[in-house]
Structure 1
């Protein structure tokens, strides 16, 4: 299998992912065996290319990030954290600010799923700082959204709502209806908790 085919196969993963309203809108899978198949396929591919110096570092970054996300959703946050730390290390070494911010957000999510909420919050805050320092704002809305969801789990509802409102404003300016909907869901969820 080549990298392009693997990416195409992985794009269908969204069909088995949902946000669990019983667990603070955490991502879950409706088909764990299919999710595990994706994980195995991605790990086998990564193992095949690991020692190949000709393989683009970007491909390895993508694979580490993918495995980090899949393991988090699968319920193995410690493995997820390992992959995402590799991602973050690569982004920092290569001075790829956008990738660093994305990696911080993903790592924060994995830490949250590992019930390390304060550490997760630190990663989200660092992502926000890096957005400001580097003037890389393409993922600022994601940083606010994920920080807000972490604050929800810490029962800091007012702070969470402020983050969601910031994310919503940014997402409305982007005009992406699925992102707007995601934030509106989070706001509604937070309002239900408050009531």
Structure 2
């Protein structure tokens, strides 16, 4: 297997992923068997090719595999990959990748039911978005993930505040799918909090 054929498989599995409206909009898959199969192939590939992977390929693989293990309900394995990913990008001082890695790792901790650690990571991501100009484009993502974490902690008003700020940014960006995603999260927060 080549890196590019594995990348295609990893990207294709995204078609099976959806947001579960009955579980705080957590990401799930319609095909757990296929997801586990692709992850097994990815781990085998990494074991065989790790020494030959450049930083960009390693970043892609560790980040994507970490995310998919989270969705596959193996958050501790996800955390292992995502912590390594964060460590690597921090060494390179690649701020946009640090922000993305913090958000991904925060989500893995949330799925591992460590919401406080997740919030800490989301706060770090938000702070980096505020400090580094190139990171500002990820502020809406950091706010949205923080809001979803707060929602799971039954902190509806705080969650709605995050979603409203993310929605404002996303409307400025003008990306319909992102706007719809945040509007859906805001609607769920209002419903759960009794504001709808």
TM-score by length of 2: 0.95
Provide the secondary structure at the position in 1 that maps to 2:51: coil
* Equivalent in the alignment of 2:2: 2
User: Which of 104, 115, 118 does residue 117 from structure 1 map onto?
Assistant: 115
Extract unaligned runs of 5+ from structure 1.
none
Question: Which whole-Å CA distance do the structure 2 matches of 1:82 and 1:170 have between them?
Answer: 32
Question: Which whole-Å CA distance do the structure 2 matches of 1:181 and 1:27 have between them?
Answer: 16
Question: Which whole-Å CA distance do the structure 2 matches of 1:176 and 1:39 have between them?
Answer: 30
Question: Which whole-Å CA distance do the structure 2 matches of 1:193 and 1:159 have between them?
Answer: 13
User: Which of 51, 71, 78 does residue 69 from structure 2 map onto?
Assistant: 71
Provide the secondary structure at the position in 2 that maps to 1:115: coil
Q: Contact conserved, 2:83 with 2:105, CA < 8 A, in 1? A: yes
1:175 aligned onto 2:174:
yes
1:186 aligned onto 2:176:
no
Question: Which whole-Å CA distance do the structure 2 matches of 1:123 and 1:95 have between them?
Answer: 17
* Equivalent in the alignment of 1:98: 96
What whole-Å deviation, never above 9, does each CA across 1:144-183 have from its counterpart, x for those lacking one?
0000000101111111001001111111111111111110
Q: How many residues align?
A: 193
* Equivalent in the alignment of 2:124: 126
List aligned pairs for 1:139-154, cutoff 5 A. Answer: 139-154=138-153
- 4+ residue segments displaced more than 2 Å: none
Question: Which whole-Å CA distance do the structure 2 matches of 1:139 and 1:120 have between them?
Answer: 17
What whole-Å deviation, never above 9, does each CA across 1:46-68 have from its counterpart, x for those lacking one?
1121122xx21111111111111
Extract unaligned runs of 5+ from structure 2.
none
